[in-house]
A and B are shown apart, each in its own frame.
Chain A
Amino acid sequence: PHFIINLPKSQKNICFNINAEPGKILNLVSDADTGVVVNGQLIGAKKQEHEKLNTYFGKIGFYFKSKDLKVEVSTEMITLKDGSYSTGLSWADTGSIIRKRLLVSVKREHNVTITVDGEMSFMVVLHRVWKNHPVNVDFLGIYIPPSNPFSSKAHGLIGQFMPEPEVSIFNERPGQDPKKPEATMEFKGHKFTVTRGLQKDYRTDRVFGTDVQCWFVHNSGKGFIDGHYTDYLVPHLYSFLKNP
């Protein structure tokens, strides 16, 4: 999957890709103080292309500890779990599941919005591909607004950027591809090369997406994310990220 971190104050977008193995679960947000976890499980494409197997989010799990509610969004179903009970809607539905001031709102074949106490929200977008496509599979995208009231301890591949970090990008220069200039990014004392390019935001246009100008961080976000991407692998869909 690809990540776009929007930094509204500095008006920059930073992007990186992470290609772990299918089945692995990546922690996206882990906030022990507010008791919120968001994890994404990877699925692989049907086959390799250019000797590389692309992976995508096939399942996203949300755990709201204070409410003891879990929401599982897969490319098939949207399920709210409360203790041993579960209630599900399919992507063919338009509807809502409401429990303990948590609202799961499904827009048929399009997206799911999860709203917690009217304050925190998440959007999961469904990307359907042609069923008989030789390579591509259905996958999910997740959008987390920066206004979500996470605590300062929030972590995870996305959560760590919730309080907007200071990023400095300088020495912009032509890259190997003339359409993709390069620059140097300085972040938390690390200096590394980033490449300018385009990435897609699918919230409004689910088919073609909207182009987003982005500075790409190579090597699975190395230097931009804390530690290595493998540090964000968690054992279960609802696991909190353990402190290193």
Chain B
Amino acid sequence: STSDEHSGESTDDSDKIGIYSYKVQSTITSRLASTMIQSKVVNNAKHPQHLVFEVQIPKGAFIDNFTMDVNGITFTSSIKEKSEARRMYAQARAKGKAAGIVRSNALDMENFRTEVNVPGGTKVQFEIHYQEMIRRRLSSYEHTISLRPGRLAKHLEVDIRIIEPQGLRYVHTPNTLGDHFDGITTLSKGEKKAHISFKPTLAQQRKCPTCSSTAVDGNFVVQYDVNREKAAGELEIFNGYFIHFFAPENLDPLPKNILFVIDVSGSMWGLKMKQTIEAMKAILGQLQPSDQFSLLDFNHNVRCWRDGLVEATPSQIDEAKNYIQGIHPNGGTNINEALLRATFILNEAKNLGMLDPNSVSMIVFVSDGDPTVGELKLTTIQKNVKQNMQDDFSLHCLGIGFDVDYDFLQRLAQENRGTAQRIFGNQETSSQMQQFYSQVSTPLLRNIEFNYPQESVSDITQNSFHNYFGGSEIVVSGKVDTQNLQHLESVVTATASNAQLVMETLADVEELDDFMSKDKYADPKFTEKLWAYLTVNQLLAERNLAPTAALKRNITKSILQMSLNHHIVTPFTAMVIENPNGDERMLADQPRDNKKGCCPGTLGITPKVPDKTIPSWANPTPVAPSPASAQKAPTFAMKPIHTVDND
């Protein structure tokens, strides 16, 4: 609380809950975004009420701290192994307070939610810190901040700083919050730094001049890209770690052999099918003359538009569009048969010498549900596909809606050198599919390998990649012995559309020292954190595919150790939030994405639900409701129902 919080314009509603301030501060240091969201709230009513702090954080972001101050008592957080965290929580459960990370149905976002039941006149300050590695997609880095204060805030502020040693090519702040906020965002951009500020006044926040509700409800988005001079990428070394950012340009795309495998079972009926057809027509239109393609659609049966791959001539593309337009979804889902047929077509084409040795072969699989016909066991399907996919083919999976087992699709893709993405079954399905396709439609390099002097570096993250797609970026990191080294050299080898490439880069280990020391906002641990996040994500993916329980246990152990060392919430850790005495504790852990953990409302319906005092996931054994919690307590952020996955 600050003194000025007690004066000035009131932002209270009839429930007498007021937000004094809502601040978001974000600093991006070389793709590492550290974000703090702080909210100061007061219960101005005479009776106890629930205060809910709910923020959306990007999927894949790591929460690294949460604090809560209730009338001068500060709850701080620590990361513990999950069972240890649960044991602590069971020992000292907080009264009338709860915290957790819950699944949301927003694209690429999940919710962190805290509920506190506080007496009248109580002030609460919530502060969450999370970090994420911003990935380059479609030639741009996008930093999204979910801005949903729920009501008017006396002080509302978003402050973003970007520090990119490579130099900023451009910075955009598209007005995604609506016309209401035109011209309010300020942006100042230098060669390597940018500052973005969004500070709407109370009047500007109001939906209308006499409204008491806020118009601030949406995502605040910053897009930027960095300068790229060297094909070999940028090698940044700082504090004993190196990060290699690799995103070459000036390369022609490799020709593609692409098979689209589309689920046309009954569950696709309606909007999903309509949007899929729309997307497929657009995607087919983007094929290049050098590409070869075909289409398979499946329900309980598998149909091939053509027996083999055909050249992407305008007439073939038109015929494929007509074919897809005529699809009427019905029947069951035979995933096994469909994928095996697709691999058979690619294998046949390869055996017959129809594939350009320099081309990239891929299957794009689109489904909205589990198998219901043929092989139903997911592990068997996985095994069958893996056995039949050749090493130079990749499988990309798109899961539409929440009836699909996304973990399964992710495993399928990871095991077969591809990527997976959940597509949200709503009006945006078509554009989401097209966007995903755009990311894999321009393979520029194959077999990319990053080499560093073995005697000087250690703990390198994945350094060999099947493909590099235009508009994306490969990031490799590791530890480097800066004490005994003046320069670090890397050699990247890759196959381009018409040639072998060998690219070298040399970086002075002290090159960034001066730059970093002069910037008070730059995160001096950015290299270490990026390395940790890459390593944890890589270990999570490896664990997903581990063939034996013993190996899985070992990987879990490594992830746990990394999480504890670097203070990050992973599926194997939980955040314990406790008061100074340690006699009140809350628990927040990271959900895993699986079918059961998903949201209802696949078509964008977000039903409101009654408020709960302590969510069931945070309260494993029933407790008698306290007098305070028995009251119907409004929250300042009404949100849709959530299903929680406690891993």
The chain A residues found within 8 Å of chain B, CB to CB, are 77, 79-90, 92-99
Contact = CB atoms under 8 A, between A and B. Distances in A.
B496 interface: yes
Contacts of A92: 229-230
Given A85-B496, A86-B250, A99-B500, 6 more contacts: A82-B497, A87-B251, A92-B230, A93-B230, A93-B231, A98-B499
Interface residues of B, number: 19
Contacts of B505: 93-94
9 contacts: A82-B497, A84-B252, A86-B250, A86-B498, A87-B252, A87-B496, A93-B231, A94-B505, A95-B504
Contacts of B500: 96-99
Interface of B: 229-232, 250-252, 290, 496-506
Contact of A90 (B230, B252, B290, B498): B230
Q: Which 6 A-B pairs have the closest CB atoms?
A: A88-B250, A82-B498, A92-B229, A95-B503, A85-B498, A99-B499
Contact of A89 (B497, B498, B503): B503
A79 to B, nearest CB: 7
A133 B506 CA distance: 29
A80 B230 contact: no
Contact of B232 (A80, A86, A94): A94
Contacts of A83: 498
B506 A90 contact: no
B499 A93 contact: no
A30 to B, nearest CB: 25
| Interface SS majority for chain B | loop
A233 B554 CA distance: 70
Nearest to A96: B502
B499 A82 contact: yes
Nearest to B506: A94
B200 to A, nearest CB: 42
Contacts of A77: 250
Contacts of B231: 88-90, 93, 95
Nearest to A107: B504
A83 B290 CA distance: 12
B149 to A, nearest CB: 45
A43 B251 CA distance: 26
B232 A79 contact: no
Contact of A87 (B230, B232, B501, B506): B501
Contact of B498 (A87, A94, A96): A87
A93 B497 CA distance: 19
B596 to A, nearest CB: 48
Contacts of A94: 232, 503-506
A94 B496 CA distance: 16
A73 to B, nearest CB: 13
Nearest to B496: A87
Contacts of B499: 80, 82, 87, 97-99
A92 B496 CA distance: 19
A86 B290 CA distance: 14
Most chain B C-beta atoms within 10 Å of own C-beta, residue among A87, A92, A93 = A87
Contacts of A93: 230-232, 503-505
A128 to B, nearest CB: 13
Contact of B497 (A85, A96, A98): A85
A194 to B, nearest CB: 44
Contacts of A97: 496, 499-501
